[in-house]
Amino acid sequence: YLIESGRLSVNKKCAKCEDSMKIINSNNHLNKKIYYCRNRECRFSKPIFYGLRINTPRIPISTYLLAVYKWIENVYEKDILRNLNISKASYQKIKSHLLNFSQEQNSYLEKEKLGGLNKKVQVDETAIFHGKLDKCPSNTADETPGLIWLVGLIEPETGKIHLEIVENRSSITMINIFRKYIHNGTTVVTDGFRSYPSAVASIEGIHIIVNHSLGFRNRDGFHTNNIENLWSILKYEIKKRRGILRSNIEIFLNEFKMKYNLSRKRTSDEIFYLWNVLVDYLFKDE
């Protein structure tokens, strides 16, 4: 499959004599194929995945690719290890590549601001406390020990999101977040938290407030359902993992953001698309 899809080159230059190499069968190697120099005087060979990001995995490549697919599907790690019969060390090495991709992808997406004229962005904040989402973050003080504040932004029309850990929910913090992630002139929909008006003003936006004590929609039909749904999905993923260690929160959020932005509807087509994107990434030359 990798050869047919062009991810593995049929011909490579020999590192020893600079002649061309071909792919041949080899029962002495894990994946049954190697690169072999065409020059009879050279006969240099190397593993078929040598020099790629995955750098000669110690498990069959079919198992490797299936593990990537299961990771996208958010299958429990213990189930992946058991069903694919691979070690934790092997899976951690696979995950390290996938998490590197997540970080690179998020860094790229963070350069794209949300909203714009005649476009809406919903913004809300939540808190992670003792590895779980706080049930009532609005009633929680910023300085509560062990609390981690998270600001979320979502563009309802496209589903694109940004998530950022912040030290507090002050006006200055929100202004910095808004200027970083939202285009000037955007219609911003929030609840009535006190830090939002000045943040919206800083981007010359239109501020729509939904007072949740009066209902989930205001009189004009505006709502924050999209961002609230995002928190529900995040809460579910945290619950599946039985909480997140404080030291792993940034790693988890990187994975969550990437998967949400590239496969938010979780359809089979989206998952297969993301799998192909990851395979392209993994089989690039270092």
**Domain containing residue 151: CATH number:** 3.30.420.10
Identify whether residues 194 and 226 lie together within a single domain: yes
Identify whether residues 219 and 266 lie together within a single domain: no
- Identify the three-state secondary structure at position 268: helix
Identify whether residues 229 and 164 lie together within a single domain: yes
- The predicted pLDDT at position 2 comes to 86
- The predicted pLDDT at position 69 comes to 97
Output the CA–CA distances (angstroms, integers) from residue 128 to 135, 146, 216, 226, 253, in the order listed.
9, 9, 23, 19, 11
Give 50-100 pLDDT, tens digit per residue.
778 887 788 889 999 999 999 999 999 999 999 999 999 999 999 999 999
Instruction: Examine residue 2 and state whether it is found in any structural domain, yes or no.
Output: no
- The predicted pLDDT at position 209 comes to 95
Average pLDDT, the chain: 91
Mean pLDDT of 22-38: 89
Phi, psi of 37 (to 5 degrees): -65, 135
Identify whether residues 271 and 191 lie together within a single domain: no
Identify whether residues 159 and 219 lie together within a single domain: yes
Instruction: Examine residue 6 and state whether it is found in any structural domain, yes or no.
Output: no
Which of 108, 190, 203 minimizes the C-alpha distance to 152? 190
Instruction: Examine residue 186 and state whether it is found in any structural domain, yes or no.
Output: yes
Output the CA–CA distances (angstroms, integers) from residue 64 to 9, 271, 276, 282, 284, in the order listed.
19, 16, 13, 11, 15
Instruction: Examine residue 250 and state whether it is found in any structural domain, yes or no.
Output: no
Q: How many domains does the chain have?
A: 3
Phi, psi of 88 (to 5 degrees): -60, -35
Identify whether residues 151 and 104 lie together within a single domain: no
- The predicted pLDDT at position 138 comes to 65
Instruction: Answer whether residue 179 shows pLDDT above 90.
Output: yes
- The predicted pLDDT at position 220 comes to 86
- The predicted pLDDT at position 52 comes to 84
Band the pLDDT of 1: cuts 50, 70, 90.
confident
Instruction: Examine residue 160 and state whether it is found in any structural domain, yes or no.
Output: yes
- Quote the percentage of the chain above a pLDDT of 90: 71
Instruction: Examine residue 251 and state whether it is found in any structural domain, yes or no.
Output: no
Identify whether residues 79 and 28 lie together within a single domain: no
Identify whether residues 178 and 234 lie together within a single domain: yes
Instruction: Answer whether residue 211 shows pLDDT above 90.
Output: no
Identify whether residues 124 and 183 lie together within a single domain: yes
Mean pLDDT of 175-198: 97
- The predicted pLDDT at position 176 comes to 98
Mean pLDDT of 225-250: 92
Provide the token pair at 123.
Answer: 């913004």
CA distance 242 to 71: 17
Query: Residue 70 CA to chain centroid, in angstroms?
Result: 15
Identify whether residues 35 and 94 lie together within a single domain: no
Identify whether residues 36 and 81 lie together within a single domain: no
Instruction: Examine residue 4 and state whether it is found in any structural domain, yes or no.
Output: no
Q: What is the pTM of this model?
A: 0.87
Give 118-174 pLDDT, tens digit per residue.
999 999 999 998 788 876 666 677 777 778 999 999 999 999 999 999 999 999 999
Identify whether residues 140 and 88 lie together within a single domain: no
Instruction: Examine residue 88 and state whether it is found in any structural domain, yes or no.
Output: yes
Which of 48, 9, 8 minimizes the C-alpha distance to 30? 48
Range of the domain at 61: 54-110+257-285
